[in-house]
């Protein structure tokens, strides 16, 4: 992949400029209305970046002799962004699923050595190679549906060696597939069994040992935590956030998923890129997020899978102007989901999100939740040429169907 020194020359020397013509664009350009639709559109790409996206009639003449792809009137959207996953994990929890179907409670399963601790045991027993091998099919499922950027969290290692192993696996995966991977250190995900219930000591270890090791190797692009009764308190999370700041890393938070500990407000107070889940977030939390520009990441897969009944306050987010992203939360315990298209259907059907909100939520707003909105997430000049051609008649089809993949072509960095 040579991305340097390419420009449209029109004739003579080899040029990497390419043009996609005869397309209908959903640009998600925020300066346009709604989905930023351009009928009879074209995209010109040079050096892996979008040089032009707009009406074909306005295509600059510099591209008139560039290699051309006729899209036959197909729709083009930005490449999809899955901004919240726990894709790197070992094994699965299908057996627990069976136990639950047979009537067992989460507590009973946890007491029998199941739950998140079973995923920690499995990850610790796996090698970095094992993790890469197990993760690739899940990543491939996302890629097949047009995902071009994916976030991957650690959080099943819960000690220095194993968190590093998981993050190294996530970084390696980025070199094995044509996809951008953003990694997030989630050391404060759960209390590992060897800490014998001592949360304060574990947070000290996260802050004093694990995070510095992760930062020293440059293995994380952000820091996350699970703020919940069964995980860590707002005070404990604040310590992790302060440490992240010292290492120059942006923060995010699993907030208000099972109860309202005011995690959304905490995240906002720390200038978090996103607060995620948010089923129990109240109006003050939504207001704080709006003020801080913290994105609400909506995760319908977990809501569905654990049969939660409290919905995230989508209407409050709309009213206060909180940006909403939509993501899979792909994880073995509460969201074994690797379809971002199905996730959009769930966000619409379960939470009443509109087609536009769902699609903006897996493109522009998901990019914003990763701090990447200047690089990807819309079809605008200057951004990476990551986009998808779809065999659909209207954008709503991407949200409406369940278990059908209408990808015609997935373009990343112009190829």
The least distance separating ligand DI6 from the CB of residue 157, rounded to whole angstroms, comes to 13
**Part in contact with ligand DI6 (CB under 6 A); list of ranges 37-45, 169-177, 325-333, 355-363:** 325-333
Residue 281 within binding range of ligand DI6, rule CB under 6 A: no
The least distance separating Fe ion from the CB of residue 331, rounded to whole angstroms, comes to 6
Residue 333 within binding range of ligand DI6, rule CB under 6 A: yes
Residue 116 within binding range of ligand DI6, rule CB under 6 A: yes
Residue nearest to ligand DI6 (CB): 333
Contact 351, 308 (CB under 8 A): no
Point out which residues bind Fe ion (CB under 5 A): 329
- Separation CA 44–CA 105 (nearest Å): 55
Strands 37-46 and 18-26: antiparallel
- Separation CA 149–CA 243 (nearest Å): 27
Burial (Cβ within 10 Å: 0-12, 13-18, ≥19) of residue 373: buried
Strands 75-78 and 67-70: unpaired
Residue 162 within binding range of ligand DI6, rule CB under 6 A: no
Based on CB atoms, which residue is closest to ligand DI6, 24 or 252? 252
Work out which of 257, 281, 287, 294 binds ligand DI6, going by CB under 6 A: 257
**Part in contact with ligand DI6 (CB under 6 A); list of ranges 168-176, 287-295, 327-335, 357-365:** 327-335
Cβ neighbours of residue 186 under 8 Å, at least 6 residues apart? 86, 153, 154, 155, 223, 224, 225, 226
Based on CB atoms, which residue is closest to Fe ion, 41 or 234? 234
The least distance separating ligand DI6 from the CB of residue 20, rounded to whole angstroms, comes to 38
Closest CA to 344 of 323, 365, 328, 321: 328
Q: Which does 134 bind (CB under 5 to 8 A by kind): ligand DI6, Fe ion, none?
A: none
What DSSP string runs through 22-56? EEEEE---TTSSTT-EEEEEEEEEETTEEEEEEEG
Based on CB atoms, which residue is closest to ligand DI6, 75 or 303? 303
Cβ neighbours of residue 25 under 8 Å, at least 6 residues apart? 36, 37, 38, 41, 43, 53, 54, 75, 76, 379
Q: x/- site string to ligand DI6, residues 184 to 203, per CB under 6 A? A: -----x--------------
Contact 152, 205 (CB under 8 A): no
Handedness of CA 384, 340, 176, 248 (dihedral sign): positive
The least distance separating ligand DI6 from the CB of residue 271, rounded to whole angstroms, comes to 21
Based on CB atoms, which residue is closest to Fe ion, 370 or 379? 370
Residue 338 within binding range of ligand DI6, rule CB under 6 A: no
Based on CB atoms, which residue is closest to ligand DI6, 257 or 287? 257
Q: Which does 323 bind (CB under 5 to 8 A by kind): ligand DI6, Fe ion, none?
A: none
Residue 343 within binding range of ligand DI6, rule CB under 6 A: no
Residue 119 within binding range of ligand DI6, rule CB under 6 A: yes
- Separation CA 301–CA 140 (nearest Å): 19
Work out which of 183, 334, 339, 363 binds ligand DI6, going by CB under 6 A: 334
Closest CA to 414 of 69, 29, 57: 69
Residue 362 within binding range of ligand DI6, rule CB under 6 A: no
The least distance separating Fe ion from the CB of residue 153, rounded to whole angstroms, comes to 7
Binding stretches for ligand DI6 (CB under 6 A):
116, 119, 189, 226, 254, 257, 302, 331-334
């Amino acid at each position: 992949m040579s991305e340097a020194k390419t420009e449209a020359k029109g004739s003579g020397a080899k040029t990497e400029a390419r043009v996609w013509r005869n397309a209908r664009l959903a640009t998600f350009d925020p300066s346009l209305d709604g989905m930023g639709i351009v009928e009879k559109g074209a995209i010109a790409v040079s050096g892996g970046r979008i040089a032009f996206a707009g009406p074909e009639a306005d295509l600059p003449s510099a591209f008139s002799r560039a290699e051309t792809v006729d899209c036959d009137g197909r729709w083009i959207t930005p490449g999809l962004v899955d901004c919240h996953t726990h894709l790197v994990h070992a094994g699965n929890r299908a057996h627990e699923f069976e136990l639950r179907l047979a009537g067992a409670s989460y507590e009973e399963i946890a007491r029998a050595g199941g739950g998140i601790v079973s995923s920690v045991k499995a990850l610790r027993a796996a090698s970095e190679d094992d993790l890469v091998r197990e993760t690739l099919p899940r990543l491939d499922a996302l890629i097949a549906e047009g995902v071009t950027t994916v976030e991957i969290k650690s959080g099943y290692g819960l000690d220095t060696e194993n968190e590093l192993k998981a993050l190294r696996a996530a970084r390696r995966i980025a070199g094995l597939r044509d996809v951008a991977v953003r990694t997030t250190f989630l050391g404060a995900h759960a209390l590992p069994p060897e800490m014998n219930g001592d949360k304060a000591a574990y947070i000290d270890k996260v802050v004093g040992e694990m995070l510095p090791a992760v930062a020293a190797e440059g293995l994380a692009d952000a820091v996350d935590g699970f703020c919940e009764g069964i995980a860590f308190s707002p005070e404990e999370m604040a310590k992790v956030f302060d440490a992240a700041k010292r290492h120059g890393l942006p923060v995010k938070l699993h907030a208000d998923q099972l109860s309202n500990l005011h995690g959304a407000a905490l995240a906002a107070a720390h200038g978090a890129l996103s607060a995620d889940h948010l089923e129990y977030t109240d109006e003050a939390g939504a207001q704080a997020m709006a003020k801080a520009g913290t994105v609400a990441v909506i995760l319908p897969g977990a809501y569905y899978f654990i049969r939660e009944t409290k919905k995230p306050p989508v209407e409050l987010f709309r009213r206060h102007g909180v940006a909403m992203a939509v993501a899979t939360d792909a994880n073995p315990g509460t969201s074994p989901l690797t379809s971002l298209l199905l996730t959009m259907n769930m966000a619409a059907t379960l939470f009443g999100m509109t087609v536009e909100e769902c699609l903006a939520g897996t493109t522009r707003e998901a990019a914003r939740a990763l701090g990447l909105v200047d690089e990807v997430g819309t079809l605008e000049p200057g951004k990476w040429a990551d986009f998808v051609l779809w065999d659909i008649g209207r954008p709503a089809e991407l949200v409406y169907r369940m278990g059908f993949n209408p990808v015609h072509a997935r373009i990343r960095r112009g190829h």
